[in-house]
Amino acid sequence: MKVLVTGAAGFIGMHTSLKLVQLGYDVIGLDNINAYYDKSLKYGRLKELGVQQEDIFYNKVIQGKDNFKFVELDLTDAGNLMALFAMQKFDIIINLAAQAGVRYSITNPNDYIESNIVGFFNLLECCRAFPVKHLLYASSSSVYGNSSNIPFNTDQQTDDPISLYAATKKSNELMAYTYAHLYHIPATGLRFFTVYGPWGRPDMAYFLFTKSILEGGPIQVFAEGKLQRDFTFVGDITESIARLINLPPINESLCRILNIGNSKPIAVIEFIQILEKIIGIKAIKEYLPMQDGDVELTYADTKPIEELTGFSPCTALSEGLSKFVSWYRQYKHL
């Protein structure tokens, strides 16, 4: 089957593309390679997929390694996106392209409307024009807001997002439901819980902590490190996605939402202690108040996805962080 992975130069997108290529899928990766963070990291990820920076031209499909191809394209470019669908006749869509970051959404709201709302709408329109067997798309644990219903389950209400990023992800779920209902597009929304691992995003806390600790600088610890997060290793995310591809929803609505998390929330201060032990250096901590848009706790109920696929994330935090730190040292030539 032919699979489109959007956001393929991103963190989860690269790992998902690698996983699917290994499983024998024909994969076309799409990314706009924007400047939200250092582009060299994105080009480095693409190199892992056999794509060289000098070969990339906008709206040109180029060959990577094995059965992977890549096209630089923005989801807001509706005309060229529709033309790509017409030419490729995709079976499966995995939408991992989005403007990420809770705090960044407070200072740069327009980027979230363009990427996460307009871009996703264009993708849905393409799926309507050229029907697919299954649309899987990234949502986020942030849609739960500061819910007191623990652990978070997909049956509870998510009507109180506390950041624009969360609001756009909730909007994606509603849009997908509407298109599934009206145009019979089987759609699965995936609420990711604090994904980490090699080739991660440099704006994420674990990446920033590692960089600062190794450089001898201070790390910023918000809310005294008491915030709890359900850290989920990227390899568990890709395994879950791979198992879901051939399991489209067959209920009346043709639409469902699933959590993908480790179901073991841990306080950020404890997370830092594990990281310190792995690196072998004590962090210099700068304590700051809780930031706007942050939530106090994330905790995934993963029983539905486990019952559906026979798998739920299981990588221990110490194991996953060790893999990240090893990658970081190698990537930075330390």
Question: What residues act catalytically?
Answer: 165
Give the C-alpha separation, 9 to 243, whole Å: 22
Query: Are 144 and 155 within 8 A, CB to CB?
Result: no
Helix (H, G, I), strand (E, B) or coil at 188: strand
Element housing 43 (H / E): helix 39-48
Residue 286 vs residues 104, 202, 218, 277: alpha-carbon distances, Å: 20, 19, 6, 19
CB crowding 134-160: b at 16 or more within 10 Å, else e? bbbbbbbbbbbbebeeebbbbeeebee
* DSSP-assigned letters across all residues of 129-168: HS--SEEEEEEEGGGGTT--SSSB-TTS-----SSHHHHH
Question: What is the largest distance, in Å, between two alpha-carbon atoms of the chain?
Answer: 56
